[in-house]
């Protein structure tokens, strides 16, 4: 079992091209404060180790059943042969499995070991303008551990990015992580807090507050990302609300992340199920293009009005928040002080070259914003 406070990593994705500029290594942390009904990495939700079973790889040797100390493994037909209530994820079965049909998800790395492994690919970072991205799950769950690794990487001159759900303590984030981060990918899912709670298990007030603060005060670029989940986030109502929120936060672009049905089989391997309405195919190209066009137009302020429920309150949230009244201005929306970062977010649909508003830095931008 996981020792208290010791974070687990469920994947080190080498030579990643979709998690920031250049060639990168993505560190996938295990554990997340949200439980998104569509989670593309269902193995990342629990901070504890888990056993995954891939039936198509099983050769039926029965060695796993013989060695399991809890009697949690059987040879019964079906997609999952693990009695999850008994399983302690000790890893005995996966260590014995000759075909890797059983795998332990989640491993602890000492800081020195992790840093050493990440620096082995330094030549690729340096030649491509890449670096290391921390993802998950939610990297900010274990700020002491992640911050220590980030600090070591920054001392070596490595570019560091983070992908976050935004559900974190802002003061702790600013003290332990932000000094060592070069780029923030900030996910926004549902603008309506009740819908957000329904589909992720938590409301979104803290997420929106953290986003607005970082949008106004972060010394590094903030890239908003929105997953396009059919029937949940990929609706005119939700995209309208998020576009309005971003526009009034000073942004003129965002990355739309295409839906990935591969998570369905990954969840099944863990004995879990995602939301029953999720399709087992990608969003059709025409539908995705229509959503992208609508979002781009709405973000620019030129889209037709879409029906919004009264409790979305994207604009009202910004105008009524005492915390943000001092930094909210129409002048900044008309003439944003921008930091252009073309080429970021190749893994999704980058609507336009990123212009993340950094009012606190007062960077002038001579580029036209379309």
pLDDT in tens, 142-155: 999 999 999 999 99
259: in domain: yes
State how far the alpha carbon of 317 is from the alpha carbons of 100, 187, 241, 260, in Å: 50, 18, 11, 31
User: Rounded CA gap, 370 and 365, in Å?
Assistant: 13
Q: What is the pLDDT of residue 303?
A: 59
Q: Which residues contact 172 (CB under 8 A, 6 or more apart)?
A: 143
pTM for this one? 0.81
Q: Which residues contact 202 (CB under 8 A, 6 or more apart)?
A: 33, 34, 167, 196
121: in domain: yes
Considering only the C-alpha atoms of the chain, give the largest distance between any 2 of them, rounded to a whole number of Å.
Answer: 70
- How would residue 229 be classed by pLDDT, with cut points 50, 70 and 90? very high
pLDDT in tens, 326-368: 333 333 333 233 223 322 332 333 332 233 333 332 222 222 2
Reading phi first (left if > 0) and then psi (alpha if -120 to 50, else beta), residue 60 is in left
**Are residues 292 and 157 both part of a single domain?**
yes
User: Rounded CA gap, 340 and 369, in Å?
Assistant: 10
CB-based contact 31:138 (threshold 8 Å): yes
**Are residues 64 and 36 both part of a single domain?**
no
User: Rounded CA gap, 173 and 220, in Å?
Assistant: 14
Q: What is the pLDDT of residue 46?
A: 96
**Are residues 188 and 317 both part of a single domain?**
yes
**Are residues 308 and 229 both part of a single domain?**
yes
167: in domain: yes
28: in domain: yes
**Are residues 239 and 333 both part of a single domain?**
yes
- Read off the CATH number of the domain in which 156 is found: 3.20.20.70
Q: What is the span of the domain harbouring residue 63?
A: 50-105
pLDDT score of 226 more than 70:
yes
Mean pLDDT of the chain: 83
Number of domains comprising the chain: 2
């Amino acid at each position: 079992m996981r020792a208290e406070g010791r974070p687990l990593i469920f994947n080190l994705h080498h030579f990643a091209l979709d998690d920031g500029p250049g060639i990168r290594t993505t560190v996938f942390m295990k554990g997340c404060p949200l439980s998104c009904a569509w989670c593309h990495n269902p193995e990342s939700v629990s901070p504890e180790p888990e056993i995954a079973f891939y039936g198509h790889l099983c050769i039926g040797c029965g060695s796993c059943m013989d060695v399991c100390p809890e009697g949690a493994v059987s040879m019964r037909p079906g997609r999952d042969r693990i009695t999850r209530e008994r399983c302690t994820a000790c890893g005995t079965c996966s260590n014995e499995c000759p075909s890797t049909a059983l795998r332990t998800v989640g491993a602890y790395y000492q800081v020195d070991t992790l840093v050493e492994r990440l620096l082995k690919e330094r030549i690729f970072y340096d030649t491509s303008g890449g670096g290391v991205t921390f993802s998950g799950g939610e990297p900010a769950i274990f700020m002491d551990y992640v911050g220590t690794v980030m600090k070591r990487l920054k001392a070596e001159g490595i570019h560091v990015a983070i992908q976050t759900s935004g559900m974190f303590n802002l003061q702790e984030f600013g003290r332990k992580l932000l000094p060592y981060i070069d780029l923030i990918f900030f996910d926004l899912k549902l603008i309506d807090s009740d819908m957000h709670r329904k589909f992720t298990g938590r409301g979104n007030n803290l997420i929106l507050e953290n986003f607005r603060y970082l949008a106004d005060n972060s010394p590094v670029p903030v890239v908003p990302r929105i997953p396009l989940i059919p029937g949940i986030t990929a609706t005119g109502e939700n995209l309208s609300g998020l576009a309005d929120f971003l526009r009034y936060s000073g942004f003129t672009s965002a990355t739309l992340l295409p839906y990935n049905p591969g998570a369905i089989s990954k969840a099944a391997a863990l004995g879990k199920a995602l939301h029953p309405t999720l399709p087992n195919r990608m969003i059709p190209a025409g539908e995705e293009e229509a959503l992208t066009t609508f979002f781009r137009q709405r973000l620019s302020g030129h889209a037709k009005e879409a029906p919004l429920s009264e409790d979305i309150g994207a604009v009202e949230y910004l105008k009524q928040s005492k915390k943000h009244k001092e930094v909210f201005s129409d002048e900044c929306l008309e003439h944003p002080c921008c930091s252009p970062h073309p080429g970021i977010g190749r893994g999704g649909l980058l609507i336009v070259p990123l212009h993340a508003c950094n009012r606190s830095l007062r960077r002038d931008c001579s580029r036209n914003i379309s």
